[in-house]
Amino acid sequence: MKDQLRLLRDCINGDIPAVVFQGDDRCAPEILEAAKEIYRKSGCSEEFLYDWQLLIDEVKAYQRESPDTVKLPRLSPTEIELAREDMRRKGIKA
């Protein structure tokens, strides 16, 4: 996870779906811990798991050092409306 920007650029340039968890996302440490267990069960190398743990530690440190920035993620008003429109088209009640 040393070059996260490069990984994200590769996804964007290659039209590969990507997920981004910001360090100020209150749920990020728990999500990353759960992902680590999934990776472990799936057979990822110890080196990968070590590197992943460094990322988890970095996010936790950021949240400890910047508690005022930590929050639950939310959608912008425009994103909310687009999601609602998509849900209506698919027959999903909001």
* Cβ-based neighbour number of residue 58 at 10 Å: 13
- Is the confidence at residue 94, as pLDDT, over 80? no
H/E element, 91: none
31-56 pLDDT, tens per residue?
A: 999 999 999 999 999 999 999 999 99
pTM (predicted TM-score): 0.83
In angstroms, the CA 18 to CA 10 distance is 10
- For residue 32, give the nearest of 43, 42, 20 by alpha carbon: 20
